[in-house]
Amino acid sequence: MDGVLIDSEPLWKIAMEEAFHSVGCMITKKDFQKTVGLRIDEVITYWHQEVGWERLSVKDVENLIVQKMIALIEDNGVPLPGVIDTLEYLKSKNIKLGLGTSSYNVLIEAVLNTLGISSVFDVVHSAEDEEFGKPHPAVYLTVAQELGVSPSKCLVIEDSFNGIISALSARMTVVCIPEKTHTPDPKIEVANYQFATMSLMLNHMKKQV
C-alpha cells in the first residue's frame, strides 16, 4: 500500500520526524531509509534501541505517529500514477485483488477511503494481525490463502527491498516500482520485474494479453 497505491513515504517521514523529535530523538528523514517496509512498531522499537529516549513509551510514540499519519493522509492523500487505471483494468479481467501491507488497519482504512478504492479489493490484510511483519512472508501468505489462490499464482507489487523479500519468500512473483524519495537500493534488482511507474507496468501487462 505505502509507496505503491499512495505516495505516503513523504508523509511517514513528516509524522515520524515530528514524533521522534518531540521525545528528543533527533533522527532525520534520511535515517528512515533503514527501516522502510517494516511495521511501525518495529520501526519505533529499532530507533528506541539505536538512539533511545525517555518520558514517552514506544507505544506512546507509535500512537503519535499513527494519529499524525491519519491526518496527513486525509489532507494530502492521492493515488500514485497508474494506480486507478491498473485497478480498473484488473477488475475488468476478473482478476482477484488482495492488499497485504505492513500498515495498521486504521491506516489502511484512511488510505482506501481517501483514495475512494475501499470496494476494489477482495481481501485486505495487515501485518498488524501477524506475529511477524515484513520481510517475513506471513502477510502475503495469509492474503493468498484468503483469496483461495496458490502463492505461486500471485503477482505482488512492491516498492522496498523488505517487501520484495517478503513476497519472494512467499514464492510469489514480484514487480518492483521503486519508492522515489529514497536513495535507489541496488538490492531491489532481485525482483522479477521492475518499472518506474504503475502506468508503465500496466502498458506492459496489456501487451502480454
Q: What is the mean pLDDT of each run of 10 residues along the chain (209 residues)?
A: 91 91 87 83 91 88 94 95 97 97 94 96 96 94 98 96 96 93 82 96 92
Rounded to whole angstroms, how far apart are CA atoms 86 and 198? 7
200 lies in which domain range? 83-208
pLDDT, position 30: 82
Helices (H), the chain: 9-22, 40-50, 58-76, 83-92, 105-115, 138-147, 161-169, 198-208
Rounded to whole angstroms, how far apart are CA atoms 126 and 133? 9
Q: What is the CATH classification number for the domain harbouring 40?
A: 1.10.150.240
State the pairing for strand pair 155-158/173-176. Answer: parallel
Q: Can the peptide bond before residue 135 be classed as cis, meaning omega within 30 degrees of 0?
A: yes
Looking at 76, 91, 110, which one is the last position of a domain? 76
The answer to whether position 142 is within a domain reads yes
The answer to whether position 32 is within a domain reads yes
Count of domains in the chain?
Answer: 2
* 162, 98, 9, 62: CA torsion to nearest 10: -80
CB atoms within 10 A of CB 40: 22
pLDDT, position 52: 86
* Residue recorded with cell 505461486: 152
Torsion angles phi and psi, residue 37, rounded to 5: 95, -10
Q: What is the CATH classification number for the domain harbouring 140?
A: 3.40.50.1000
Sign, CA dihedral 91-160-202-145, equals: negative
pTM of the model: 0.85
Please write the tens of the pLDDT for every residue from 153-162: 999 999 989 9
Q: Examine the domain organization and report whether 17 and 63 are in the same domain.
A: yes
Under DSSP, is residue 125 helix (H, G, I), strand (E, B) or coil? strand
Rounded to whole angstroms, how far apart are CA atoms 37 and 34? 9
Please write the tens of the pLDDT for every residue from 120-139: 999 999 999 999 989 999 99
